[in-house]
Amino acid sequence: MSIAGLNVMDMLRKQLILKQLELDAFLEITKAINSNKSASALFELFHRTLRDQIGVEELLLYSNNGDDWEPVIGNKIIAELNPDLIDALLKFDSLTYLRDVGEDMPEALKDFDILIPVYHKDKPLAFLLMSNPKVESYEPLEDKVKFAQTVSNIISVAIENKRLFKKEVQQQAFKRELELAAQVQSMLIPDKLPNNDQVQMSAIYLPHQNIGGDYYDCLELSNKETFFCIADISGKGIAAAILMANFQAQIRELTKRNPPTVEEYMQELNKGVLMSTKGEKFITLFLGKYDRTTGVLKYVNSGHNPPILVNSHGAKMLDRGTTILGMFDTLPSVKMGQLVINEESVIVCYTDGLTDVVNEHNQVFPLEELTRLIQREYTHPVDAINKKIINEIMHFKGFHGVVSDDITVLTVKIMP
């Protein structure tokens, strides 16, 4: 065999060895991915592979962690000195030999020779900046660059899949927590309301999410007194639901204990809210106590949407009381409302989610319209009144309107 033939055979043998090393590297990467190695372990393997396999001396790998970009491999000092580097990289969507970019190349990229972006569909996952690999006479540069590109894609996609899987697991866990919280919260809402020849009640509870911060309750204090209330805790979600549960325990314990004056009752309630919330959340509250023997309704409105009392004499807003609970160490003043109900009357208590519904013209449901609706319907059963209210609200909202808060309605019919 001629010397030229031997040289060709030697080159082919070296290329074959190189391909075998590349296959071994791919196998090691695949095993690491299948064994669920951490992202940091995969990045370290990636770094070692490019350094040992193709002789890359200078590299910088940016990875998208879902919320931000971070330099995970290489000279992070270079990254810190070039805060606008990502903006420059996002202009590239394919393999680029930076020396060919010309005068338009950003200054931050001039320390590198090759840019390899990794995209999944239209989403950028990573950017690899590197110097030219070491190339022997038998090794085409393009082959080494293609190897680096393939490894970059495999590692970046694997890490993105890990991130998405972790996110999915977290979302499923959070969903289960929400479902459990919703079940617990549903146990706190009265499943049976008065329905006799003197007092009838009906409620609608529509949390904006699975759980909400609205609250209503009813207690039979004696054979002659009925207590009812509605409240709105600031905020939404689990935090509001926990506070709602705590508030229910406070108000029930305090109502059964029955402090001697309304002033003391409300001040104790306010103190309990402050202890629970540390002043970070507030509660609006309306509470009423109806004496079935005297027909007297006593109530306190603590910064809540005034319930609407309707009978044959017209409509009255129940707005007498005090300020929001949890805002001040001591409530500045407490005034009790009191009136005698001597004919069939309806009291519609609601949270502001009802009148904050927005239609497609960005208009909110008018309180005057709600009042007129109750005046038209107050002689009907309480369930029918609530159904009419919700139907009217949803009709007003229309297909493109918005419900941005919990909606709660507690309707009380008093028949002396």
Is 294's pLDDT higher than 60? yes
Q: What is the pLDDT of residues 265-283, one digit of tens each?
A: 999 999 999 988 877 889 9
Q: What is the pLDDT of residues 121-159, one digit of tens each?
A: 888 999 998 888 887 755 678 888 898 888 889 988 888
| Domains of the chain, each with CATH number or no CATH | 21-167 (3.30.450.40), 192-414 (3.60.40.10)
- Please, are residues 231 and 214 in contact by the beta-carbon 8 Å criterion? yes
Is 59's pLDDT higher than 90? no
Q: What is the pLDDT of residues 195-238, one digit of tens each?
A: 999 999 999 988 776 677 788 999 998 889 999 999 998 877 67
List all residues 6 or more positions away from 7 whose beta carbon is below 8 Å from its beta carbon.
none
pLDDT of residue 326: 92
Is 6's pLDDT higher than 50? no
pLDDT of residue 283: 94
pLDDT of residue 1: 45
Query: In this predicted structure, which of 204-218, 252-266, 376-390 has the lowest mean pLDDT?
Result: 204-218
> Residue 2 — very low, low, confident or very high, per pLDDT cuts 50/70/90?
very low
Alpha-carbon distance of 331 to 155, in angstroms, equals 61
pLDDT of residue 381: 96
Is 8's pLDDT higher than 60? no
Phi, psi of 114 (to 5 degrees): -135, 140
Is 26's pLDDT higher than 80? no
Q: Mean pLDDT, the chain, as a whole number?
A: 85
Is 400's pLDDT higher than 80? no
Mean pLDDT along residues 64-82: 75
Distance of CA 299 to the CA centre of its chain: 36
Mean pLDDT along residues 315-343: 95
Alpha-carbon distance of 93 to 122, in angstroms, equals 9
pLDDT of residue 17: 58
Is 24's pLDDT higher than 90? no
Is 251's pLDDT higher than 80? yes
Alpha-carbon distance of 392 to 367, in angstroms, equals 12
Bridge partners (DSSP) of residue 97 are 114
